[in-house]
């Protein structure tokens, strides 16, 4: 009996699933933060080991029984990151084959059940990634907060902060976000935002992205500035997906999605659908069928076109509760 594992390494936690060669899930485990670039090697290793140990508890030989493992991680396309994570997985006890890839690839595989299409993520960061029928791949965005991540939670939070200061200066219209941001950050006046911004380690990428729900809340109240920020973010995200579609020659791509912003309901989905209709009118928007960790498992079970559809569908049913919010969107 062959056993395979799929792992999704994220900034907040590790998700790991183990199955036999027929796609029957045998275990699932979770660990702590595992973004090698932000959490560091020691924390990542501990989280990886914790998730693997829990997920393989029912296997006769535990972690050592894994014949093939696929790991999806931020930065996984970088050969140095991939090599380090592979070494960690081996040190955790995996004696079989280990393959490391980036998180967008496993997200696409899970969302579309190992079929071609385009996936865009709008969480703390953002990226658009696609694969065609021939296995060709393309990406746009995902270059981090300094060089990109347009349409992400960070993008919304930063745009909101700038809008608050513009309103304070009189260069922009008053905005509901001013009161929301000051209360959230425990500040009394707008000038204190400047002090906060120049204090090392205070307004981090994560902290700025955590302000995104306040931008969404302001837009939900009808604040024109916040509404404009969401429209601009949605347009940027769709442009990334369009760039991928053009590079892969996809005329009517199947498009799916993931990330925290998609939990915001109509306030986010309305400008996004508007942008999609304008930029990719022939695109088909499809809710994700299963979470990214399922995509890692699909890749561990076999390449696209080789995994039987009924196996992928069965795994999706077993893990599909993670994607129910997306179906509602």
Which pLDDT score, from 0 to 100, does residue 236 have? 95
- Residue 202 tokens, joined: 């205070």
Which pLDDT score, from 0 to 100, does residue 311 have? 79
Strand 66-73 versus strand 137-141 pairing type: unpaired
Superfamily name and number for 3-113+289-318:
ATPase, nucleotide binding domain (3.30.420.40)
Q: How far apart are CA 155 and CA 127, in angstroms?
A: 12
| CATH architecture designation of domain 114-288 | 2-Layer Sandwich (3.30)
pTM, two decimals, is: 0.82
- Could you list the mean pLDDT of each consecutive 10-residue stretch along the chain, which spans 329 residues? 89 87 88 82 92 93 94 88 94 93 89 88 88 90 86 95 96 96 93 89 86 96 96 95 95 88 88 93 88 90 72 77 42
Question: Positive or negative CA dihedral for 239, 245, 251, 256?
Answer: negative
Which pLDDT score, from 0 to 100, does residue 99 have? 95
Which pLDDT score, from 0 to 100, does residue 134 have? 87
Residue limits of CATH 3.30.420.40 in the chain = 3-113+289-318, 114-288
Report the candidate in 16, 26, 69, 25 with the shortest Cα–Cα distance to residue 47.
Answer: 16
């Amino acid at each position: 009996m062959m056993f395979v594992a799929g792992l999704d390494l994220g900034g907040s936690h590790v998700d790991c699933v183990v199955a036999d060669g027929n796609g029957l899930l045998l275990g699932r485990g979770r660990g702590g933060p595992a973004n090698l670039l932000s959490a560091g090697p020691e924390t990542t290793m501990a989280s990886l080991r914790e998730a693997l140990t829990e997920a393989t508890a029912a296997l006769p030989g535990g972690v050592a029984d894994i014949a093939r493992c696929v790991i999806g991680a931020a930065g996984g396309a970088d050969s140095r990151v991939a090599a380090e994570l592979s070494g960690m997985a081996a040190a955790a006890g995996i004696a079989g084959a280990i393959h490391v890839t980036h998180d967008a690839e496993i997200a696409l595989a899970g969302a579309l059940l190992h079929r071609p299409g385009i996936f865009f993520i709008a969480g703390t960061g953002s990226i658009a990634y696609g694969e065609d029928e021939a296995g060709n791949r393309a990406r746009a965005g995902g270059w981090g907060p300094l060089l990109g991540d347009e349409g992400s939670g960070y993008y919304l939070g930063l745009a909101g902060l700038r809008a608050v200061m513009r309103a304070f200066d009189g260069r922009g219209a008053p905005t509901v976000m001013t009161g929301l941001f000051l209360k959230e950050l425990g500040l009394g006046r707008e000038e204190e935002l400047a002090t906060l911004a120049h204090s090392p380690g205070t307004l981090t990428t994560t902290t700025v992205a955590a302000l995104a729900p306040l931008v969404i809340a302001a837009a939900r109240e009808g604040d024109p500035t916040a509404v404009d920020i969401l429209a601009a973010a949605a347009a940027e995200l769709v442009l990334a997906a369009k760039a991928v579609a053009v590079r892969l020659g996809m005329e009517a791509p199947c498009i799916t999605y993931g990330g925290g912003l998609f939990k915001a309901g109509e306030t986010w989905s309305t400008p996004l659908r508007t942008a999609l209709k304008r930029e990719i009118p022939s695109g088909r928007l499809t809710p994700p069928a299963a979470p990214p960790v399922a995509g890692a498992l699909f890749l561990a079970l076999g390449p696209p076109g080789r995994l039987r559809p009924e196996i992928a569908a069965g795994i999706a049913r077993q893990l599909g509760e993670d994607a129910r919010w997306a179906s509602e969107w």
